[in-house]
Structure 1
């Protein structure tokens, strides 16, 4: 027999909602405006939302991930499936305009964190739409990924919007911007990884507050990297920095870096690994020790070749692991 759920006492109704996952609560929200409004009893402070290719939207909560998948077949609406053993359940809904569902989920569950945003499927319009929503709601955005696009003009137009976003964890960019492109970050996330990074100049590097930095296809030179290291050696500078990796054609053996001519390495020095969390680490081998004025220890390695590389690792006491030389990290 039907249960008059909304007539339950508030405390009991809250307990019921706490046992429901996002897909179940979404279905309940469609029953009535009153049912949707009552879902604010559910604690969703740690929930996150993200989207991906093929018009999918995810909600992440303490129980795991829940996926909304697109279908135009009414017979499939609200059906739940498991596509992979390691993934959470997926429910089929009409995502013809996924912006409507994205905003509906934000409003219904009061979600304040976007787990990731990107322009996958060459869809810069949806990225622009969700970015503006995040700005308007003052939402934290943990990760933004900009893939290369055929029409670079669309990404250029998006960059002023990017400046207004509160990106906290990771920014990754592989866009091939024009040679005259300039961009200055207003704030930095914990990590940046930039391919085709000729636009990321020494001024930005000297101002960068990231924990991890990786720049591929850079134009930074020996002289500029020497300026960076000279600043790093001063006490109080770059307090967050743990690793810096740069691939640049401008690195050569014609001028010194910290009074050393590249290549810079010591063959007998062991591999040092620093962990930044689950499945996230940085390793460096055969590196030269560099000491900061306050005693902080850094390790520097510069290699020449087709793509000369500059690697710099800052270690904290008790947080580094010395190991046998293993497989090198992936190339840019």
Structure 2
């Protein structure tokens, strides 16, 4: 028998929504726009949300893992299941970083009718989530990434960790446009770029989170290094030469320069003898072949 949920007193609805898990709230949010808005009576959620591809969004709630997956066909909509221990490990290994206490976690999945970025946006809006714990994408489709980026920018969402996975270089023809969107996103803890960009463009990272790791950093020039405010920087496959490294250390030696910097690693083919230069928070410089 249907229940006129929205006719309940507001205080009662607030208590009901506070007791609901993510799957229950998600299914309620699909009933109507009014129900979706009413769900916010339960308050904003501090759940950890991680997004790794267009078909899956993962939410952590204490020791529980909720996996929202795009259904292949309508008859699968809203089907939920507990994932077996071995399958859960594969899910965790591929989509979530392994945890030492994994044996205590319970993994559940639900098949969703939402398509592409719609699922991601609906979960952010319905649960009032303001922080994305991890976001991992690749640059093979600019249209897909631009939808994600514009959504996060418009909602002013904080992204703690942002990772650009590697795709075929020839597919990454819009990388300059990607960077302009990345510079508008609120990435706070970590930026990691595994992608190798085309060399015929100039790429500029304007905002610096706490940690930066760039696997193909030939585009990361001395101006970006000198203006950097990160605590940890790792630049692999760099083209910074001894001259540029000296420019950095001349500024670094001045009092008040790079107050946040605790670790710097530069792997460059332009440094004599192909040394890797590394500086730790102790202030000592080390060289590694």
- Category of TM-score, reference length = shorter chain: 0.7 to 0.9
**1:300 equivalenced with 2:263 (yes/no):** no
Tell me which of the two structures has the higher relative contact order, counting C-alpha pairs closer than 8 angstroms and 6 or more residues apart.
Answer: 2
Equivalent in the alignment of 1:129: 147
Contact 1:54 1:121 in 2 (8 A): no
Q: Which runs of 5+ in 2 are unaligned?
A: 89-102
Runs ≥4 residues deviating over 6 A: none
Which of 134, 138, 143 is equivalent to 1:116?
Answer: 134
Equivalent in the alignment of 1:246: 266
- Across the aligned residues of Structure 1 and Structure 2, the Cα RMSD in angstroms comes to 2.8
CA distance in 1, matches of 2:26, 2:14: 15
Q: Which runs of 5+ in 1 are unaligned?
A: 255-261, 265-283, 291-295, 305-332
Shift of 1:122: 3.5
Report SS of the residue matched to 1:145.
strand
1:303-322 aligned within 5 A: 303-304=288-289
CA distance in 1, matches of 2:175, 2:276: 37
Contact 1:28 1:36 in 2 (8 A): yes
Shift of 1:87: 5.2
Contact 1:117 1:127 in 2 (8 A): no
CA distance in 2, matches of 1:121, 1:161: 12
Contact 2:138 2:166 in 1 (8 A): no
CA distance in 2, matches of 1:73, 1:28: 20
Q: What do the CA deviations read for 1:186-219 (whole angstroms, capped 9, x no partner)?
A: 2111111111111111221111111111111011
Which of 158, 161, 172 is equivalent to 2:192?
Answer: 172
Equivalent in the alignment of 2:182: 162
TM-score by length of 1: 0.71
Equivalent in the alignment of 2:32: 32
Equivalent in the alignment of 1:106: 124
Shift of 1:48: 4.6
CA distance in 2, matches of 1:77, 1:8: 27
Distance 1:107 1:231, change over 3 A: same
Contact 2:139 2:167 in 1 (8 A): no
CA distance in 2, matches of 1:121, 1:166: 18
CA distance in 2, matches of 1:48, 1:74: 28
More helix by share: 2
Which of 192, 195, 214 is equivalent to 1:194?
Answer: 214
Report SS of the residue matched to 1:246.
strand
Equivalent in the alignment of 2:241: 221
Contact 2:236 2:266 in 1 (8 A): yes
How many residue pairs get matched?
268
Shift of 1:50: 3.3
Bigger CA radius of gyration:
1
TM-score by length of 2: 0.81
Equivalent in the alignment of 2:99: none
